[in-house]
Amino acid sequence: MDHTLIVQLLISGILLGGIYALGSIGLTLIFGVMKVVNFAHGEFFMLGMYLTYWLFHYFQIDPYLSTLILVPAVFLIGLVTYYVFIRPTIGSSVLAQIFITVGLSTIIQNTVLLFWSADFRSISLSYATDAMVFGPFPALGVDEVMVNPSRLIAFSLAICLSAAFYLFLRFSYTGKIIRATSQDRSAALLMGINIDKIYKLTFAMGIVLTGLAGGLILPIYSVHPFVGFDLVLIMFVVVVLGGMGSVVGAVISGLIIGVVEVFSSYWLGQENKQVIYFLVFIAVLVLRPSGLFGLKEEEEVERIEAIE
């Protein structure tokens, strides 16, 4: 296969993967800290897209600038969602937790459908329509490579935000508390950490990251009421591959899945590409459920038992 093509696809994949990474960090963190699998996560991505769209449509606010508005707005939405839907089910049966988020997802999808119709909506940025050209790189046997500027901007911002969030988790006081709670809830409780506060903060932040990812992707993809569903499946693949609860895992596997998607889209076509990453998904779940960076479940159980 032609080198240029490979490089082209690789770059597209990585650029796309950056967005997946950003969108998935929230999902994996929410699971890591609260053990909640948020099936409605994609809907917040979609809401981020719609909000950015309306801000652009009515107020001509540049989508990248609207992130500033998005952050507090989505944070608020996240908090409300936590209080109404998530908090009551923490500690309940798995069935309740799964279906509350499924119910939430249904409600959001169809409310959006009702009010904003099923039309696909997109925006185009005047400064970002011309493809940027890189290369050629004769040493690698590669001709010119075209890069869509929106994708490049989105990727850069996504990576910056991801990195910033990672640093926050790693070095800030709150970040450390979040990580501690994720590793050992009982110990955290014993140390006087207000678990409810951590949960609500983590949830809201996770939602914000996803909403932001949505905002970043709007110049590239159109939004419609069910875009969240398609995306949440991808995000689940990313999260499971990376390891539930691992932020680093989410970023790395986000990039991997982005590349996988672009390549499978090329080889198998638009409709069939999904099969590949679902197969990846099932393979990971079966062979190594803890993913690349997650804790092996057996280890976790054994660690608890090793107290005596």
Partner 1 sequence: MLEVHDVSKWFGGNAVLKGVSLTIRPGDVVGLIGPNGAGKTTLFNVISGFCRTRTGYIRFNHTDITRMRPEEICSLGLCRTFQITKPFSNTTVVKNVIIGALVREKSLKRAEKKAEEVLELVGLHDRRHVLGRSLTIADRKRLEIARGLATSPRLFLLDEVMAGLNPTELQEMIRLIGHLAESGVALLIIEHIMGVIMRLSHRVMVLNHGEKIAEGEPSQIACDREVIKAYLGEEYLIAQA
Partner 2 sequence: MKPLNEITKGDRLHLRFVVSAVAVVLALVLPLLIGNDFYLDGLILIFMWGTYAAAWNILAGYAGMVSLGHNAFFGIGAYTSTLLLLRFGLTPWAGMLVGGMLASCVGLILGIVCFRLRSHYFALATLAFGEVTYIVAVNWRSLTGGSEGLALPIQPSFYLFSFSSKLPYVYIGLFFLLTVIGISYAIQQSRLGYFLLAFRENEDAARALGVRTGRVRLIAMVLSSFLSAIMGTFYAQYAVFIDPSSVIRIQLSVQVALFAIVGGVGTVMGPVIGAMLFIPITIALRAKMGTALPGLHMIVYGIILVLVLLYMPQGISTKLKEKVPLLTKIWRG
* Closest among 120, 129, 157 to 46, alpha carbons compared: 120
Output 76 or 96, the one with its CB closest to partner 1: 96
The Cα–Cα gap between 237 and 77 comes to 25
Long-range pairs for 294-303 at CB < 8 Å and ≥24 separation? 294/242, 294/243, 294/244, 294/245, 294/246, 294/249, 295/243, 295/245
The binder of partner 2 chosen from 65, 76, 80, 113 (CB under 8 A): 113
* 119 near partner 1, judged by CB under 8 A: no
Residues 6+ apart with CB under 8 A from 50: 112, 116, 121, 223
Answer with the entry of partner 2, partner 1, none that 184 interacts with (C-beta below 5 to 8 A by kind).
Answer: none
Residues 6+ apart with CB under 8 A from 8: 145, 146
Answer with the entry of partner 2, partner 1, none that 305 interacts with (C-beta below 5 to 8 A by kind).
Answer: partner 1
* Residues in 281-300 at the binding interface with partner 1, rule: CB under 8 A: 299
Q: Which amino acid is at 168?
A: F
Q: Residue 218 carries which DSSP code? A: T
The residue behind tokens 């932040």 is 205
The Cα–Cα gap between 165 and 170 comes to 9
* 1 near partner 2, judged by CB under 8 A: no
Contacts with partner 2, 246-265, as mask; x by CB under 8 A: --------------------
Answer with the entry of partner 1, partner 2, none that 285 interacts with (C-beta below 5 to 8 A by kind).
Answer: partner 2
The residue behind tokens 């994708």 is 151
Question: At its nearest, how many Å lie between partner 1 and the CB of residue 291?
Answer: 18
Output 17 or 245, the one with its CB closest to partner 2: 245
Question: At its nearest, how many Å lie between partner 2 and the CB of residue 107?
Answer: 4
Using CB under 8 A, list all residues that contact partner 2: 31, 35, 37, 85, 88-89, 92-96, 98-100, 102-107, 109-111, 113-114, 118, 225, 233, 236-237, 240, 271-272, 274-275, 278-279, 281-282, 285-286, 289, 297
Residues forming contacts to partner 1 in the complex (CB under 8 A) are: 299, 302-303, 305-308
